[in-house]
């Protein structure tokens, strides 16, 4: 069953591009989290999406949210990807796609990694889910819109 609006976001711990590990529960009670699953580092669509999140990162931070990207790539790949495109946020390595499967963030008959963004409030509840393989900018715009509504 895919994670949906109103669900408590499943906790996880994964390695980051910095060499540290990050758990979703690290943010509970502190920050909202924009958790985006993307297929692969340094591909055209994923680069466009990640750079769109980068370009709005300060807006996300000002809205009280942390941005976290997740793919099946290694931490080393994430480190190169983040450095190449100046990505200021955390990228997590989900080897074997266990967290992706836990969230149900698959696409195309469950065969390919999906492009799905979750807005999780500071209490750990999913407030919005955006699932689109090709509307890269939409992931950023919809996440920001949701955070602005939560702030009201």
Which residues have a catalytic role annotated? 46
CA distance 131 to 115: 6
Beta bridge partners of 32: 65
Beta bridge partners of 68: 35, 90
The tokens for 85 are 């495109």
By the 8 A CB rule, do 39 and 115 touch? yes
Classify residue 33 as exposed, middle or buried by CB count within 10 Å of its CB (0-12, 13-18, 19+).
buried
Q: For 56-75, b where at least 16 C-beta lie within 10 A, e where not — what string?
A: bbeebeebebbbbbbbbbeb
């Amino acid at each position: 069953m895919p994670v949906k609006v109103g669900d408590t976001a499943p906790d996880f711990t994964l390695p980051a591009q910095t060499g540290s590990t990050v758990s979703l529960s690290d943010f509970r009670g502190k920050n909202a989290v924009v958790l985006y699953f993307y297929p692969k580092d340094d591909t055209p669509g994923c680069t466009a999406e990640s750079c769109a999140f980068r370009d709005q990162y300060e807006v996300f931070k000002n809205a009280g949210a942390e941005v976290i990207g997740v793919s099946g790539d290694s931490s080393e790949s994430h480190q190169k990807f983040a450095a190449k495109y100046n990505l200021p946020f955390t990228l997590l390595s989900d080897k074997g796609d266990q967290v992706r499967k836990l969230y149900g963030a698959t696409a195309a008959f469950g065969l390919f990694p999906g492009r799905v963004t979750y807005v999780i409030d500071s209490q750990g509840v999913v407030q919005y889910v955006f699932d689109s393989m090709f509307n890269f900018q939409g992931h950023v715009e919809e996440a920001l819109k949701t955070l602005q509504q939560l702030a009201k």
